[in-house]
């Protein structure tokens, strides 16, 4: 995913930097790194979303603790209040982490058009 | 355009002739000798540039014009050091050019501002690389930003600017390095006509006021005649110099001159060189007969 992201960097930015006097090292630190860091951050948000989903699925299958185990257990006792509460918690945690990352992105990368929107 | 009263593009008034004499006495900034560029492609060898020779003098404005694919971008990229040459010599102040460097500023057609830097930091980019302290670089950057009229936007990010404004920043960023020559590859090609006219006028204004030599690529005839002291006309397959025209329109230039006889005569010459008549699609009698056979809705009568 990271190497794929690096390829998204516009090569004409590298050329522009060269005509402004950049050499190899400055090119790396002043253009390549800042150029790909926003893409990486977006990837991170997507990755965390996936991670959360996998976690739930994994829990459903195995383990005798954790939030999904709690849900199936409570459902067995027909304690539906607790079931719904737990499902809400899963949703809220997922949503909050994504929102926090979005806010953080806006703060850290003010130049990004897309991030300004979220 | 009428042929009736146009003078020859070779006719120069005494004032214009005198200006060219003085211009050619100035030191040579850029010299291109027997430049050759071949590309190896799967379809075989392509000669992009064949035996290109020319000189630009200090504070001269040279336009390069030619049909698409004639090697204009290849030429300017070789001058910038971004592309290798097959053979020949490129000399800047008499020294051979071997790679990209801050002594040659470049403005590209696409917007190449660094999106993560503000306008001011974009302009400071080259200054900082040249080893200026931060506050000196900042002061210098402000002056260049003011020169292109964007002081109010020094803290904006590129995505907040219009196309014309982005190119102004790119010009300021290139000029901040105080290059020996400013290379511009169709810099206004993506702008609408009105913005383009404004950009041309401000570029002329900047050029008149600072010590800078400009090599400007375009495929717009009006743009070339309006901006250039001399126009290098290229032809395609292979890319060769067709003619080096001394523009007989007096300096300083104004928009009103776009309709002057010298202007139109030069434009007509460019037209002949770039769009030779034989390549135009001919509408002959046979073709017209075919068209007449197509049935026409009779309800609307012909007005011819
Ligand atoms: N990297 C390349 N590899 C192969 N052929 C190229 C390359 N760059 C340009 N050319 C060819 O060289 C010729 C000139 O291209 P270019 O300089 O872009 O023309 P222009 O800018 O005048 O439109 C074209 O025929 C083009 O196909
Ligand atoms: Mg081109």
- What would the DSSP string read from start to end of B223-247? HHHHH-SEEEEEETTTTEEEEEEE-
Does residue B259 form part of some domain?
Answer: yes
What residue of A is the nearest CA neighbor of B118?
A111
Q: Which two tokens stand for residue B182?
A: 């400013």
Number of domains in chain B: 2
pTM for the model stands at 0.81
Summarize pLDDT for B161-192 with one digit per residue, the tens. Answer: 999 999 999 999 999 999 999 999 999 999 99
Q: Which residues in chain B have their CB less than 8 angstroms from residue A12's CB?
A: 108, 110, 112
Q: Complex ipTM, two decimals? A: 0.85
pLDDT for res B30: 97
Does residue B300 form part of some domain?
Answer: no
Q: What are the backbone angles phi and psi of residue B138, rounded to the nearest 5°?
A: -65, -45
Interface of B with A (CB under 8 A): 80-82, 99-102, 104-106, 108, 110, 112, 114-118, 125-126, 129-130, 157-159, 173-174, 177
Q: Are residues B193 and B260 in the same domain?
A: yes
Q: Quickly state the pLDDT bin for B128 (edges 50, 70, 90).
A: very high
Q: Are residues B84 and B196 in the same domain?
A: yes
Q: Given an 8 Å threshold on Cβ–Cβ distance, is B110 in contact with A17?
A: no
pLDDT for res A109: 74
Does residue B301 form part of some domain?
Answer: no
Number of domains in chain A: 1
Does residue B124 form part of some domain?
Answer: yes
Q: Are residues B81 and B153 in the same domain?
A: no
pLDDT for res A118: 45
Q: Find the range with the poorest average confidence among A24-38, A40-54, B231-245, B285-299.
A: B285-299
Q: CB-CB: which of A12, A21, A34 is closest to B126? A: A21
Q: Are residues B200 and B288 in the same domain?
A: yes
Average pLDDT score over residue span B114-135: 95
Q: CB-CB: which of A20, A26, A111 is closest to B115? A: A111
What residue of B is the nearest CA neighbor of A30?
B125
Pairing of β B213-218 and β B181-185: parallel
Size of interface A-B (CB pairs under 8 A): 67
The best mutation among B38, B44, B48 to test binding of ligand 1, ranked by most ligand atoms within 8 Å of the C-beta, falls on: B48
Does residue B66 form part of some domain?
Answer: yes
The protein residue whose alpha carbon is closest to atom 12 in ligand 1 is B48
pLDDT for res B288: 65
Q: B154 Cβ partners below 8 Å, 6+ apart?
A: B118, B119, B120, B141, B142, B145
Check pLDDT > 50 for residue B224: yes
Check pLDDT > 60 for residue B3: no
Q: Are residues B160 and B267 in the same domain?
A: no
The protein residue whose alpha carbon is closest to atom 25 in ligand 1 is B69
Distances (CA, A) of B93 to B28, B90, B96, B104, B176: 7, 10, 8, 11, 19
Which of B150, B177, B204 marks a domain boundary? B177
Does residue B299 form part of some domain?
Answer: no
- Determine contact, residues B107/B182, Cβ cutoff 8 Å: yes
Q: Are residues B228 and B194 in the same domain?
A: yes
Does residue B110 form part of some domain?
Answer: no
pLDDT for res A94: 79
Q: Given an 8 Å threshold on Cβ–Cβ distance, is A21 in contact with B110?
A: no
Q: Are residues B266 and B128 in the same domain?
A: no
Check pLDDT > 90 for residue B63: yes
pLDDT for res B142: 97
Q: Which residues in chain B have their CB less than 8 angstroms from residue A115's CB?
A: none
Q: Are residues B173 and B192 in the same domain?
A: no
Distances (CA, A) of A60 to A91, B195, B285: 15, 61, 80
Does residue B108 form part of some domain?
Answer: no
pLDDT for res A62: 65
Summarize pLDDT for B141-160 with one digit per residue, the tens. Answer: 999 999 999 999 999 999 99
Average pLDDT score over residue span B261-265: 93
What residue of B is the nearest CA neighbor of A27?
B129
Q: Quickly state the pLDDT bin for B301 (edges 50, 70, 90).
A: low
Q: Are residues B80 and B189 in the same domain?
A: yes
Q: Which of B104, B120, B129 to mutate to test the interface with A (most CBs of A within 10 A)?
A: B129
pLDDT for res B100: 95
For chain A, list residues with pLDDT below 50.
116-118
The Cα B52–Cα B34 span in angstroms is 5
b/e B208-231 (16+ beta carbons within 10 angstroms → b): eeeebbbbbbbbbbbbbbbbbbbb
Summarize pLDDT for B12-21 with one digit per residue, the tens. Answer: 899 899 999 9
- Determine contact, residues A69/A46, Cβ cutoff 8 Å: no
Q: Are residues B42 and B188 in the same domain?
A: yes
Q: Are residues B172 and B183 in the same domain?
A: no
Q: B271 Cβ partners below 8 Å, 6+ apart?
A: B1, B221
Domain that holds residue B149: 115-177
Domain that holds residue A33: 2-117
């Amino acid at each position: 995913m990271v190497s794929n992201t690096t390829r998204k960097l516009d090569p004409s930015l590298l050329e522009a930097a060269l005509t402004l006097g950049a050499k190899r090292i400055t090119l790396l630190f002043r253009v390549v790194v800042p150029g790909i860091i926003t893409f990486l951050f977006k990837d991170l948000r997507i990755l965390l979303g996936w991670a959360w989903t996998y976690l739930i699925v994994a829990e459903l299958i195995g383990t005798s603790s954790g939030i999904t185990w709690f849900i199936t257990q409570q459902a067995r006792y027909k304690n539906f209040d607790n079931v719904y509460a737990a499902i809400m918690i899963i949703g809220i945690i997922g949503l909050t982490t994504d929102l926090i990352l979005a806010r953080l992105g806006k703060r850290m990368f003010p130049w990004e058009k897309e991030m300004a929107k979220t | 355009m009428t042929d009736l009263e146009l003078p020859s593009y070779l006719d120069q008034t005494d004032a214009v002739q005198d200006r060219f004499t003085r211009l050619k006495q100035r030191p040579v900034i850029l010299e291109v000798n027997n430049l050759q560029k071949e590309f190896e492609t799967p379809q075989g060898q392509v000669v992009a540039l064949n035996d290109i020779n020319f000189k630009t003098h200090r504070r001269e404005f040279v336009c390069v014009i030619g049909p698409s694919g004639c090697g204009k971008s290849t030429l300017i990229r070789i001058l910038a050091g971004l592309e290798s040459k097959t053979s020949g010599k490129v000399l800047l102040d008499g020294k051979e050019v071997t790679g990209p460097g801050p002594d040659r500023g470049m403005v590209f057609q696409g917007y190449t501002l660094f999106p993560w830097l503000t306008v001011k930091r974009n302009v400071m980019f080259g200054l900082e690389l040249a080893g200026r302290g931060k506050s000196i670089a900042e002061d210098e950057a402000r002056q260049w930003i003011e020169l292109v009229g964007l002081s109010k936007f020094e803290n904006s990010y590129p995505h907040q600017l219009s196309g014309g404004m982005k190119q102004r920043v790119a010009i300021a960023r290139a000029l901040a390095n105080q290059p020996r020559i400013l290379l511009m590859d169709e810099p206004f090609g993506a702008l609408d006509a009105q913005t383009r006219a404004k950009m041309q006028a401000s570029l002329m204004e900047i050029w008149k006021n600072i010590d800078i030599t400009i090599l400007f690529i375009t495929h717009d005839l009006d743009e070339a005649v309006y901006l250039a002291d001399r126009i290098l006309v290229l032809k395609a397959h292979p890319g060769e110099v067709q003619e080096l025209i001394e523009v007989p329109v007096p300096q300083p230039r104004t928009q009103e001159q776009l309709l002057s006889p010298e202007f139109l005569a030069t434009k007509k010459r460019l037209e002949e060189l770039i769009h030779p008549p034989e390549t135009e699609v001919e509408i002959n009698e046979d073709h017209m007969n075919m068209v007449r056979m197509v049935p026409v809705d009779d309800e609307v009568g012909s007005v011819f």
